Amino acid sequence: MQNMGNYENLEADFIERTLALISQYEIHLHKYRFEEQYNYTLLINCLLGLIVLPKERIISYLPNQTIFDNKLLSEMGIEYSRFNTDIKDFKSLIISLRHSIAHFHITIESVDDSFLIDNIVFMDVDKGIPYEIARFKSSELLPFVRYYSTWLLSNLYKYKK
């Protein structure tokens, strides 16, 4: 990773720095009272740099593998999260997530009156009716994002000339 100066490779450096930002926050999270811990707010903010920017600048490096492979889902840390079955490959999922994030069609669900973040739901409402793209168990979104980002960085370093 580069120092705080200029970016050598904007796309890769930005993804790496965004992941590092999340990790830095995780180290200090315990210093705050539970009510002052904003890890999901930070993660949703970071999705701009991890999903929106790559789709805009480096779409050809997005993984294009099927997402309904149980081995892959397990590697990503996905056990309870669900994706719309109309979305057949990983690249299409990321593009759909990009639209949801960029237009802030994200909802947060709590399963009880404690109002904890249990699910993060990504929607597409541009098709006229609400269309659920993905429903992440809150604890599975960060592992998914880390897996995807590492995969994308690997493709960037391997194929970008």
Q: How far is CA 46 from CA 16, 39, 77, in A?
A: 11, 10, 19
For residue 4, give every residue at least 6 positions away whose Cβ sits within 8 Å of its Cβ, in sequence order, or none: none
Residue 115 belongs to some domain of the structure: yes
What pLDDT, on a 0 to 100 scale, did the predictor assign at position 2? 46
Higher pLDDT, 149 or 65: 149
Q: HSE of 147 in the Cβ direction (CA atoms, 13 Å)?
A: 15
Averaged pLDDT, 22-26: 90
Residue 4 belongs to some domain of the structure: no
Residue 133 belongs to some domain of the structure: yes
Number of domains in the chain: 1
Structural domain range at position 150 = 10-159
Residue 5 belongs to some domain of the structure: no
Averaged pLDDT, 16-26: 92
What pLDDT, on a 0 to 100 scale, did the predictor assign at position 79? 95
Residue 95's DSSP bridge partners are none
- Read off the pTM: 0.87
Q: What is the pLDDT of residues 87-142, one digit of tens each?
A: 989 899 999 999 999 999 999 999 988 888 999 999 998 766 788 999 999 999 99
What pLDDT, on a 0 to 100 scale, did the predictor assign at position 3? 55
What pLDDT, on a 0 to 100 scale, did the predictor assign at position 21? 92
Residue 84 belongs to some domain of the structure: yes
- Rg (C-alpha) for the chain, rounded Å, is 16
